[in-house]
Structure 1
Amino acid sequence: MIKIAFFVEGQTERIFVEKFLDEYITLNKCELIVKKNIGNNKSAKMVFEKKNPYAEFYVLIHEVGNDEKVNITIRENAKDMIKKSGYSYIIGLRDLYNPRYPDPHRRKQEIRDKLINAFYKPFDECKDKIKYILAIMEIEAWFLLDKDFFTTMTDNSQEVTRILDKKNTEDYERPAKVIEKIYRLSGKEYNKHEDDSYNITYNLDYNFLCSGEAKARSDSWHCFVQCVDDCFR
């Protein structure tokens, strides 16, 4: 059985990865463990466990709490997970956006390259088994690729079309704020609550998202899909 671990920034990423794998790989092929960190300590609680004696893949999805903890957790655990626990791949997923970075949108390529280079620096012989994906600028940019879904969220599809004016969704400075604008057209708030994450991720058109057209509109999304292809092939 191939063992693959995802270390993700937060709740939205955790819910999305689980749903994406179900749609793209199908969880019928997987034994799935979902965990999340509690508070500021390193202890994790089990969120969900799905046993499968016929599984081809053992998948761990671990929500660590914030972007920097993705890096730290992988650095602290990856080598032992690969060498002692038999993991074939470790995948880190986090947003590029961080308010601590000055002018992050204008400098996104520079920041991306620095973060990736710094992340891989401690690893040597197991580097090829560790993948690091930065959603530019936020994972919500990937959701915005499915424009049709968002136009059906309100009765004002013309205004949604006006808001979603960029072909490359990585060009939105704060994709989460874009979704917030769309929610407000219906008198709702987008606060990244669990219900928000499920409402969006469970209604996206994954056939379209995995098409060449969608992948061409976001390099980071294309990288993530390719990463999953490589690890689950």
Structure 2
Amino acid sequence: MDIKKVAFFVEGYTEQEFLKNLLVEIFGKKNIGVEIKNARGGSKTAIKYTLIESAEVNENTQYFVLIYNCGGDSAIKSYILDQRSSLIKSGYVKVIGFRDVFPDFTRQEIPKLVRGLNYKIPQKDLPISFVLSVMEIEGWFLAEENHYSEIDDSLNPDLVNNNFGFDPSSDNTENIDEPANKLKDIYNHVGKTYKKEKPIIDRTVNALDYGNLYLNVNNRIPSFKSLMDEIELIFVA
């Protein structure tokens, strides 16, 4: 059986680990091999692609997922264009770029961001799509109500609702402008923290209930649904 190859280009470590866990947790039965590369350089320096994690591929593997950690939102489009020909030659069937809106763009500038990402993006031979996490990927974390008690036994949706003005189990957390700071405030309430450091990111990403994200959060957070719609076209269709 031929292996279907898909490439994701993401902002950084948080998106990299979230996406890897999401795919394996939800579609692992499809036998997915995940490989991760760092992409760095460009403009005035040569672009380098460094292998970070190799995929485990065997006779049962049906999907090969290559995740490029681009080291920043602004680099995603340029790295996609740089790798496009190579990906076509290697038999990839889909590319998805995945980035935050904040802090580079305001909510009102989302249409401008979308136009810029799709400007002069060729689609022949290799379909390319972009997904935005509005306003940051942490907005999706805020909406996964089951993970709070995994961070601390005293955290729960009622505490969040009573102290931070939204119900994580029902509200659209896309409406929060700086969700990473909101997540930090919630964790700080019980003596924990949230920041862009590997152990802290791992703790939150590993605490998420991916089944709940897929079955429930998917229905109330439009930007997360956009990602899941793209993924389902690959792994479910």
TM-score by length of 1: 0.87
Q: How does 1:92-103 map to 2 (within 5 A)?
A: 92-98=97-103, 100-101=104-105
Deviations 1:171-229 (A, max 9, x none): 01111001100121232331121112211111211111111x42232110001011100
- Give the structure 1 partner of residue 235 of structure 2: 232
Task: State the 1:152 CA deviation.
Answer: 5.3
- Give the structure 2 partner of residue 163 of structure 1: 164
Does the aligned pair in 2 maintain the 1:96–1:134 contact within 8 Å?
yes
Task: State the 1:35 CA deviation.
Answer: 1.2
Alpha-carbon separation, structure 1, partners of 2:211 and 2:14: 20
Structure 1 residue runs of 5 or longer lacking an equivalent are: none
Instruction: Name the aligned partner's letter for residue 229 of structure 1.
Output: E
- Give the structure 2 partner of residue 148 of structure 1: 146
Structure 1 window deviating more from structure 2 (135-144 vs 42-51): it is 42-51
Equivalent residue pairs, number: 224
2:117 partner SS: helix
- Give the structure 2 partner of residue 47 of structure 1: 52
Alpha-carbon separation, structure 1, partners of 2:25 and 2:68: 19
Q: How does 1:72-221 map to 2 (within 5 A)?
A: 72-82=78-88, 84-98=89-103, 100-101=104-105, 104-105=106-107, 107=108, 111-126=109-124, 129-151=127-149, 153-154=151-152, 155=154, 157=156, 158-161=158-161, 162-163=163-164, 165=166, 167-211=171-215, 213-221=216-224
1:65 partner SS: coil
- Give the structure 1 partner of residue 13 of structure 2: 11
Task: State the 1:74 CA deviation.
Answer: 1.0
Question: Identity percentage over the alignment?
Answer: 26
Does the aligned pair in 2 maintain the 1:21–1:27 contact within 8 Å?
no
Does the aligned pair in 2 maintain the 1:34–1:48 contact within 8 Å?
yes
